[in-house]
């Protein structure tokens, strides 16, 4: 039997507050609920997810570097770092893994500074504005790409 394929799911700064603060923007679903739903979807396809959240740029970069050779793809919501972090982008580009970027909100309908992403052009694709189901859609796209 072949080894289970693994996907690293990274959640950036403040996403630990999901479901607890600002539900009018980010909804009532908690991060734990999103992670549970991803684990279920992954399991159905013979994949495993490793879900991590950090408020610290360097910690996220360490996890990306450590994932090289250990996972088959990365699903990431870089949160505020999307719009600021060249270092996070460089780590994602260097890891050589397929990447999908997810945003809960439609960043294009919000403040102009949210339209710029340092991650989008090193990702296979970006999903924005679909709320928590967007994570499952992104995961599905990533699994299909890995299986192809
Ligand atoms: O829409 C998204 O998923 C974002 O990545 C969320 C980031 C924001 O900076 C991006 O522009 C778009 C913010 C994450 C903050 O998460 C919170 C969750 C609940 C309460 C407060 C903040």
60-98 confidence digits (pLDDT tens): 999 999 999 999 999 999 999 999 999 999 999 999 999
Its domain, for residue 10, covers: 5-147
pLDDT in the model for residue 66: 98
For the Cβ of 75 lying below 6 angstroms from any atom of ligand 1, the answer is no
pLDDT at res. 125? 98
Whether the per-residue pLDDT at 42 is higher than 60: the answer is: yes
> Which residues are known catalytic residues?
26, 103
CA dist., res. 59 & res. 82, Å (int): 15
> How many domains does the chain contain in total?
1
CATH number at residue 122: 3.40.50.9100
Q: How far is the CA of 37 from the centre of ligand 1 (A)?
A: 19
Residue 2 has a pLDDT of 60
Q: Ligand 1 centroid to 137 CA: how many Å? A: 18
Q: Render the burial of 1-28: b for 16+ CB within 10 Å, e for the rest.
A: eeeebbbbbbbbbebbebbeeeeeebee
Ligand 1 pocket, 120 CB below 6 A? no
Average pLDDT over residues 47-58: 98
Instruction: Confirm or reject: Cβ of 80 under 6 Å from ligand 1.
Output: yes
- Are the C-beta atoms of residues 79 and 53 closer than 8 Å to each other? no
Q: In angstroms, what is the span from residue 15 Cα to ligand 1's centroid?
A: 6
Assess whether the C-beta atom of 10 lies below 6 angstroms from ligand 1: no
């Amino acid at each position: 039997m072949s080894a289970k394929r693994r996907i690293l799911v990274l959640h950036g700064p403040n996403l630990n507050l999901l479901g607890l603060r600002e539900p009018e923007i980010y909804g009532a679903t908690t991060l734990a609920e999103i992670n549970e739903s991803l684990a279920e979807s992954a399991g159905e396809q013979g994949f495993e997810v490793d879900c991590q959240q950090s408020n610290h740029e360097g910690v996220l970069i360490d996890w990306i570097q450590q994932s090289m050779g250990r996972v088959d793809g990365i699903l990431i919501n870089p949160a505020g770092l999307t719009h600021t972090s060249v270092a996070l982008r460089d780590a994602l580009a260097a890891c050589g893994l397929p990447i999908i970027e997810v945003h809960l909100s439609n960043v294009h309908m919000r403040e102009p500074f949210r339209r710029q992403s340092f991650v989008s052009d090193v990702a296979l694709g970006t999903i924005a504005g679909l709320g928590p189901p967007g994570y499952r859609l992104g995961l599905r796209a990533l699994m299909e790409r890995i299986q192809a």
